[in-house]
Structure 1
Amino acid sequence: MSKLKTFIDIGANLTDDMYRGVYNGSKKHDPDLASVLDRAWKSGLEKIIITGGNLLDSQKALSLASTDSRLFSTVGCHPTRCNDFLSDPDTYLKCLSNLISDNKGKVIAIGEFGLDYDRLHFCEKDIQCKYFDLQLNLCADHKLPLFLHCRAATDDLINILQKHRDNITGGVVHSFDGSYDALQKILELGFHIGINGCSLRTMESLEVVSKIPKDRLLLETDSPWCEVKATHPGYKHVLTKPSTVKKEKYSQQVNTQVKGRNEPANIIQVLEIVAAIRGDDIGELADIIYENTENLFFNNNK
């Protein structure tokens, strides 16, 4: 990869058990997050935002972020985990708020939160809406951008966001895989769009991504999930293909990736596809996206 390209991964789940060598509760290899991060920095990553999925996960993310000046975190509760609020909503919200207040400079967004109607078996729609709305009260106190999750719920997401519009300081709908109509509604509210492998799974999705305004475009991996797969229609545009090995045979002594486990170094693949389908110069697009990310998340930390 050219050294002229630099990246900020706006969403990486670095606290996931897979980076400890544990897959579905079964240990397959030694923890290797240090190797994952080493590959990231050598691949052009300058910063990585670790996503917090609930209070405990946000605490873990901040603990990890404290180990490196290039690591940052979000704080919030994912829609599929909003049952966490049920026992004592006010206390849970206060704990999230305190975590933000106590880690200024490291917490650069409120989230990951929003709505997910594809996985209602984890958390009912009414509960998701109620506690998404409640978490948006954090905007008034902390003035941070939002890191939003939206699956099959654009209209409800927009309606709830509208109620808090006066207190919202920008944000991104990450891992976007919606329709052109959904894209337009999100853009009209002033938000950015985060693109990863899951955003590029169909020809229809490629068409939508090609129409995102350059000044609203951000990149992410959502690792260890959302890898670019060989079955995806945009894979033909991927030039950077790291060597991989099955998790059962993985060793840190050899600089390979674990097959099927995404990691921040692979953000270049997302850029390669996005630049190709848009017909953009890859270096120029990388620079624009980098500036978009800096302006949204990091200008207040300078």
Structure 2
Amino acid sequence: MASTTTSSTTSSAATPNGTDPLTAGLTATSDATKSLKYADIGINLSDPIFRGVHHGKRAHEDDLVHVVERAVQAGVRKMMVTGSDLGESEKAVRLAEEYPGLCYATVGVHPCSAHSFDTYKDGPDALLQRLRELAQRSRDAGTATAFGEIGLDYDRLYLCDKETQLKYFRAQLDLAIELQMPLFLHSRAAADDFEALLKEKLGGEMERLPMKGVVHSFTGTMEEMQRIVALGFDVGINGCSLKTEENVAVVREVPLERIQIETDGPWCEMRPSHAGSKFLANAPTLPKAVKKEKWTKEFMVKGRNEPCAISNVAYAVAGIKGLRVEEVCEAAWNNSIRMFGLGETAS
């Protein structure tokens, strides 16, 4: 979920409209990464922290272009920029327009922001119509590739109550079905209601939305994962999916043909304390990270997860499954392209 804090700063170094960033100086240079390519299917790239604004205060220069450069140099070829409410969805679409062929948007309202339907100045129906127009227009333009981030989050009911979440999850599922857009889904501590709503809205065999979707940042139990896969959904893995030994055991059993990988930056970084970190012995070294007060353009910022760190996720999944990282990357890439398109054709 992206922050709802806004920034008026616009990167002056953004790739111009119509220019493919992969041929505009943002070219992978490391021999170690040339054979691997990644689709980061969940990155909150519109968050102000990628513009140098931390907790509402400017800490350093806008460095989005350097974040993007590091991502491409690490082998990231596609990024799905997460929309968490109307404003963030609009910003995600603008980034997709600024970085054509590299960035793609999702459009939707996160469960923790579902109250925004009831507080919208023209009412909930008007907000749904705005989402419909944005999703349809950007889908047709090739800049939006999924409807989301939508779902349920019962871990944070202090942000939005259960009834409101359920009401607008239903409404947004109807909208995604109408637009025939694959789903970018969120589920926390709500598996029973989450699965019941998917079955209710999509039909027993999910025939109302053949492209289905992905349950991103998955942290559920083995049984929840197996039920999600049985419903035809993919499972999104990031650092938060690899915190505990139970998480590792679940990831080990996710079918390779149903795995997609992501960073969910600026959050969900893999830390040394995570159970999955012991599988990173062969992972490439990430760029140096410094405190935000010591920022320079060539360094990452401590505590701010970046898309270039997706290599850690891929190497951890490979180690957990006892596979070569090339196998994991190829499978995850093809799964993402098959579901979301991203301007490519899956092999």
Q: TM-score range by the shorter chain?
A: over 0.9
**One-letter code aligned to 1:228:** M
Deviation, 1:299, is: 7.2
Taking only the aligned residue pairs, the percentage that are identical comes to: 42
- State how far apart, in whole Å, the 2-side matches of 1:136 and 1:20 are: 32
Length, aligned pairs only: 300
Q: What is the aligned partner in structure 1 of residue 231 from structure 2? A: 189
Q: What is the aligned partner in structure 1 of residue 54 from structure 2? A: 23
Q: Equivalences for 1:226-237 in 2 at 5 Å? A: 226-237=268-279
**One-letter code aligned to 2:93:** L
Q: What is the aligned partner in structure 1 of residue 92 from structure 2? A: 61
- State how far apart, in whole Å, the 2-side matches of 1:44 and 1:234 are: 21
- Structure 1 contact 139–167 (Cα < 8 Å) conserved: no
Deviation, 1:293, is: 0.7
1:167 and 2:204 matched: no
Q: What is the aligned partner in structure 2 of residue 212 from structure 1? A: 254
1:261 and 2:304 matched: yes
- State how far apart, in whole Å, the 2-side matches of 1:199 and 1:233 are: 10
Q: What is the aligned partner in structure 2 of residue 86 from structure 1? A: 118
Worse-superposed segment, 82-91 or 210-219: 82-91
Summarize deviations over 1:19-55 as a string: whole Å, max 9, x none. 1111111221111000000011111011100000000
Deviation, 1:218, is: 0.2
1:293 and 2:336 matched: yes
User: What SS is found at the alignment partner of 1:46?
Assistant: strand
- Structure 1 contact 201–232 (Cα < 8 Å) conserved: yes
CA RMSD after TM alignment: 1.3
Deviation, 1:121, is: 0.4
Q: What is the aligned partner in structure 1 of residue 18 from structure 2? A: none
Summarize deviations over 1:89-112 as a string: whole Å, max 9, x none. 111111101001111211100000
Summarize deviations over 1:163-198 as a string: whole Å, max 9, x none. 121422310000000000110111111000000000
1:95 and 2:130 matched: yes
1:278 and 2:321 matched: yes
Deviation, 1:284, is: 1.6
- State how far apart, in whole Å, the 1-side matches of 2:342 and 2:201 are: 22
Q: What is the aligned partner in structure 2 of residue 157 from structure 1? A: 194
- State how far apart, in whole Å, the 2-side matches of 1:141 and 1:185 are: 25
- Structure 1 contact 109–146 (Cα < 8 Å) conserved: yes
Summarize deviations over 1:46-99 as a string: whole Å, max 9, x none. 110000000011001111110111110000000000011014111111110100
CA spacing shift, 1:54–1:301, aligned 2, 3 Å = farther
- Structure 1 contact 115–132 (Cα < 8 Å) conserved: yes
**Which of 290, 294, 300 matches 1:245?**
290
**One-letter code aligned to 2:264:** D
1:122 and 2:159 matched: yes
- Structure 1 contact 77–113 (Cα < 8 Å) conserved: yes
- Structure 2 contact 112–153 (Cα < 8 Å) conserved: yes
Unaligned runs of 5+ in 2: 1-31
User: What SS is found at the alignment partner of 1:164?
Assistant: helix
TM-score by length of 1: 0.97
- Structure 2 contact 256–331 (Cα < 8 Å) conserved: yes
- State how far apart, in whole Å, the 2-side matches of 1:199 and 1:44 are: 21
Q: What is the aligned partner in structure 2 of residue 203 from structure 1? A: 245
Q: What is the aligned partner in structure 1 of residue 13 from structure 2? A: none
Q: What is the aligned partner in structure 2 of residue 141 from structure 1? A: 178
- Structure 2 contact 217–237 (Cα < 8 Å) conserved: yes
1:44 and 2:89 matched: no
